[in-house]
């Protein structure tokens, strides 16, 4: 056995490159615009804040600048600790139930509110504010109306529609008793490999200005009118300040640009949002020229607050302060001193963050003036929102009116948004619109999947593994097609694999990316490369059946082969819960007239090659397949020639050697558990367990939210990675590639790593020495050369499970990444 434990090897080793020219991370405020801030400061509100600050203790003030996820705190905690805010992260729900009825959200909101207002010491009672990621509707709530993600809304080019979407989102959020949404996202994405591309309206900053105003006014109401922050609206957040879309496709990365270019591209809609009255701005996880935004005083304080005049508060992003040099999640005065006004914290140790911040405020590490300024900004937003007067969430005008959640009128707005967001890329010989009185085949994995059409941030953070029953007010694409065809006297047949008995007049194939959110959604290339989808399109095309492709994706991808295999190709992006509205555009009316024409135009350039990562209209050379603003319609037809399907040599594969990372296996793979070495049971989501309880899998945070898994054994069981087809690892074995695992031994036990092949053989490596040498609670990397498995008789050309982590008794291990990699380090304790 040859085993190597490497503690110093960094994750994702980078190639050596020449040093880039030095770029300053310090902004010159004089180069940035001044903004006519609204609403205008109200002397009566400021006097009220003065009185509150004078009556508050330092403990109260520190509490106001801390926000904690509801998965880490209880209402009872707020009786003692007067925190300023709570939030529900993407996977945090009342009673830990993602399908909790809306009334449960309202009940919990009441409990947090009541606790925040419970005190008998005579000091001010300050209501807690609840923040939520209502980014495409109130998307955490069971039954809510889910709108198309921002990339589709950008294609719609319709600010008035966007304002109506904001209004609906505000009403459905207020109905559940919540006060504040972390939206809109104003990222100007410049590299579509980023997993948050779909949260961006456009690659062009100009579009963001109109959209920022529309969405802010939809969510908050219009400044200067009685609607502004009334009971029918909620606080908005403009995010992520600044440059989140310029990190080269890497989540939480570094935007490296000179100041003028950084400003001209990424400031985008922020001046318009501030002028429209946004009450909070979220600092980005990302860096500018090497300095984390949560610690960049020149941007947060000198530019945003002083130069641009923003007088709301700056909130962090999910422990983003912990990435500031010298900081941890539980201790970061540097972020507050840089201009962060409210920590966003998730984790069990929020009381340590409170205690450390309190100690630093008392010691003057955080100056009293800075603490008062942060609290003043938070109180200003709370007073403007009327939270001191509105009372318990359940006493407010919309609270408890659960018929608003997924109301028919709201869903009709979503249907309109779906129709407006569709972009027609190809329509050969005018195949569209289809006649509904016909035999229609509907195929593809996405046709009847509300989860896939909704995408990430839909009930859960990643939006994955959810059945259609999780969206009781939604209509799948198949449902819309079926109803449309049946109403006209035709017949539609759902067949995901494309098989049919009666020859169809046309086939509609719905396919695309599975759901994902940030971090997990980052890609190494823009190559779609799903062999099964392409084979399905080609099979139907070869049979002489007209093929209409409906592509679900969170970004433009290289799909030249799929376009060639289709007669019509529709970029549907991520339409949300009303995907059935796609049928309104695909089909004619029963009398043959056009029902709804295509309106969408690309707000992102579409790649001609899979390696066109930075493909934006301002870039030179600019050579897209479909340019920014492209979009056919029935009134504006156009021809698309046969496209080049040649894949550039040396292009990285989709997995890039990665077997597990960012909390997920590659697309098409399964993560499974098994009793002993018995049959495997695939896990549907991030967490799961064996029925016997012998192995429990939980999602945990290492470097980002839920990017690792904790495995707890009480008996003999295995955790397995299963590819869709056997892997040929013979080349990697001959090339001295290793299986590299980033892990942490939380509780030592009898552990082993194994692989299996197509013949049912298993090669197993005991980790006895590794467990004995490991320091419990510390992350390290384990490297096992693939050559160690072959001598046990494993067929390396047909590996059915390239990684199995097993225990024969009690043990707990955390795993964050598994990959095939070359380890160029001295081998120790290596015996094969």
Say which residues have a Cβ less than 8 Å from residue 249's Cβ, sequence separation at least 6: 191, 192, 193, 194, 522, 523, 613
Residues assigned a catalytic role? 317, 518
In degrees and rounded to multiples of 5, residue 302 shows phi and psi of: -70, -40
Tell me the residue length of the chain: 832
In degrees and rounded to multiples of 5, residue 506 shows phi and psi of: -160, 155
State yes or no: cis peptide before 417, omega within 30 of 0.
no
The upper half-sphere exposure of residue 557, i.e. CA atoms within 13 Å in the direction of its Cβ, equals 31
First to last CA, the chain: 3
The two beta strands, 799-807 and 751-757, are: antiparallel
State yes or no: cis peptide before 451, omega within 30 of 0.
no
In degrees and rounded to multiples of 5, residue 63 shows phi and psi of: -60, -40
* Residues paired with residue 591 on neighbouring β-strands, in sequence order: none
Stretch (H or E) spanning 731 = helix 730-734
CB atoms within 10 A of CB 111: 17
Q: Are 196 and 189 in contact, with CB atoms under 8 Å apart?
A: yes
In degrees and rounded to multiples of 5, residue 352 shows phi and psi of: -70, -40
Cα–Cα nearest to 568, from 509, 619, 497: 509
The 3-state DSSP class for residue 752 equals strand
* Residues paired with residue 570 on neighbouring β-strands, in sequence order: 424, 550
CA dist., res. 179 & res. 130, Å (int): 6
* Residues paired with residue 508 on neighbouring β-strands, in sequence order: 442, 548
CB atoms within 10 A of CB 31: 12
* Residues paired with residue 807 on neighbouring β-strands, in sequence order: 717, 751
Q: Are 456 and 554 in contact, with CB atoms under 8 Å apart?
A: yes
Q: Are 313 and 85 in contact, with CB atoms under 8 Å apart?
A: no
In order, the DSSP letters of 193-244 are: TSTTGGG-SBSSHHHHHHHHHHHHHHHH--TTSTTTT-TT--B-EEEEETTG
Q: Are 205 and 264 in contact, with CB atoms under 8 Å apart?
A: yes
Cα–Cα nearest to 315, from 70, 71, 62, 65: 65
Q: What is the DSSP secondary structure assignment for residue 35, as one 8-state letter? A: -
CA dist., res. 366 & res. 332, Å (int): 10
Apex CA 39: angle with CA 36 and CA 45, to 5°?
A: 135
Q: Which long-range contacts (CB under 8 A, 24 or more apart) does 385-388 make?
A: 385/129, 385/179, 385/229, 385/235, 385/279, 386/229, 386/230, 386/231, 387/127, 387/129, 387/179, 388/126, 388/127
Q: Which tokens go with 716?
A: 């003999």
Q: Which tokens go with 315?
A: 């909130």
Cα–Cα nearest to 721, from 784, 658, 808: 658
Angle separating helix axes 205-220 and 159-175, nearest 10 degrees? 40
E strands in 102-146: 129-132
Q: Which tokens go with 228?
A: 């502004």
State yes or no: cis peptide before 668, omega within 30 of 0.
no
- CA 372, 377, 379, 383 dihedral sign is positive
């Amino acid at each position: 056995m040859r085993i190597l434990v490497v503690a110093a090897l960094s994750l994702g080793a980078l190639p050596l490159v020449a040093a880039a020219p030095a770029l300053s991370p310090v902004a010159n405020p004089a180069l940035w615009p001044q903004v006519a801030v609204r609403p205008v400061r109200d002397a009566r509100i400021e006097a009220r804040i003065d009185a509150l600050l004078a009556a508050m203790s330092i403990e109260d003030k520190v509490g106001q600048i801390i926000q904690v996820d509801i998965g880490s705190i209880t209402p009872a905690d707020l009786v003692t600790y007067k925190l300023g805010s709570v939030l529900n992260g993407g996977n945090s729900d009342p009673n830990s139930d993602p399908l909790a009825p809306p009334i449960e959200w309202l009940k919990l909101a009441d409990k947090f509110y009541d606790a925040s207002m419970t005190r008998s010491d005579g000091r001010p009672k300050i209501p807690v504010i609840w923040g939520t990621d209502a980014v495409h509707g109130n998307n955490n709530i069971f039954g809510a109306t889910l709108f198309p993600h921002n990339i589709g809304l950008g294609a719609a080019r319709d600010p008035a529609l966007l304002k109506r979407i904001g209004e609906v989102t505000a009403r459905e959020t207020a109905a559940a008793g919540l006060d504040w949404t972390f939206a809109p996202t104003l990222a100007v994405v410049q590299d579509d490999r980023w997993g948050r591309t779909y949260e961006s309206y456009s690659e062009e900053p100009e579009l963001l200005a109109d959209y920022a105003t529309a969405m802010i006014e939809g969510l908050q109401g219009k400044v200067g009118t009685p609607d502004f922050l009334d009971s029918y609206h909620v606080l908005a957040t403009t995010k992520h300040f600044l440059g989140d879309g310029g990190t080269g496709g890497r989540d939480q990365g570094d935007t490296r640009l000179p100041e003028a270019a950084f400003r001209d591209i990424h400031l985008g809609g922020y001046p318009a949002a501030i002028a429209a009255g946004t009450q909070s701005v979220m600092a980005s996880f990302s860096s500018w020229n090497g300095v984390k935004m949560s610690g960049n005083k020149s941007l947060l304080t000198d530019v945003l607050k002083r130069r641009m005049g923003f007088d709301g508060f700056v909130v962090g992003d999910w422990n983003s302060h912990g990435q500031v040099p010298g900081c941890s999640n539980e201790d970061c005065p540097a972020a507050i001193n840089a201009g962060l006004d409210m920590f966003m914290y998730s984790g069990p140790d929020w009381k340590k963050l409170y205690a450390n911040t309190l100690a630093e405020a008392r010691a003057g590490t955080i100056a009293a003036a800075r603490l008062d300024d942060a609290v003043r900004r938070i109180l200003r937003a709370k007073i403007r929102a009327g939270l001191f007067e509105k009372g318990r969430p359940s006493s407010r005008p919309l609270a408890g009116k659960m018929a608003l959640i997924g109301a028919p009128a709201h869903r009709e707005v979503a249907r309109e948004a779906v129709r407006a967001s569709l972009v027609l890329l190809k329509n050969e010989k005018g195949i569209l619109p289809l006649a509904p009185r016909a035999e229609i085949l509907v195929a593809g994995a996405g046709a009847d999947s509300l989860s896939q059409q909704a995408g990430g941030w839909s009930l859960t953070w990643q939006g994955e593994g959810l059945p259609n029953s999780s969206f009781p007010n939604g209509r799948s694409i198949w449902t819309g097609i079926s109803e449309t065809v049946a109403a006209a006297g035709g017949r539609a047949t759902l067949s995901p694999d494309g098989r049919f008995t009666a020859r169809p007049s046309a086939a509609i194939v719905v396919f695309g990316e599975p759901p994902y959110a940030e971090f997990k959604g980052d890609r190494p290339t823009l190559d779609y490369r799903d062999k099964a989808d392409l084979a399905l399109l080609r099979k139907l095309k070869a049979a002489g059946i007209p093929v209409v492709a409906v592509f679900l994706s969170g970004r433009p991808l290289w799909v030249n082969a799929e376009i060639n295999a289709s007669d019509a190709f529709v970029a549907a992006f991520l339409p949300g819960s009303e995907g059935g509205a796609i049928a309104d555009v695909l089909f004619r009316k029963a009398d043959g007239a056009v029902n709804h024409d295509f309106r969408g135009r690309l707000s992102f350039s579409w790649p001609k090659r899979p390696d066109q990562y930075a493909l934006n209209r301002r870039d030179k050379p600019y050579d897209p397949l479909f340019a920014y603003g492209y979009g056919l319609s029935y009134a504006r037809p156009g021809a698309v020639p046969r496209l080049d399907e040649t894949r550039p040599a040396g292009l990285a594969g989709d997995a890039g050697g990665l077997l597990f990372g960012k909390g997920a296996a590659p697309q098409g793979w399964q993560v499974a558990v098994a009793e002993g070495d018995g049959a495997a049971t695939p896990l549907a989501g991030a967490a799961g367990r064996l029925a016997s309880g012998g192995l429990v899998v939980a999602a945990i945070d290492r470097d980002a939210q839920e990017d690792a898994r904790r495995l707890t054994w009480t008996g003999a069981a295995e955790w397995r990675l299963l590819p869709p087809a056997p892997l040929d690892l013979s080349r990697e074995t001959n090339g001295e590639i290793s299986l590299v695992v980033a892990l942490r031994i939380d509780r030592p036990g009898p552990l082993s790593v194994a692989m299996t092949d197509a013949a049912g053989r298993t090669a197993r490596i005991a980790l006895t020495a590794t467990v004995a040498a490991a320091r419990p609670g510390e992350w390290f990397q384990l490297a096992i050369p693939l050559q160690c498995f072959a001598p046990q008789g494993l067929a390396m050309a047909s590996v059915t499970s390239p990684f199995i982590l097993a225990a024969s008794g009690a043990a707990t291990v955390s795993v964050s990444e598994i990959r095939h990699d070359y380890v160029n380090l001295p081998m120790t304790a290596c015996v094969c």
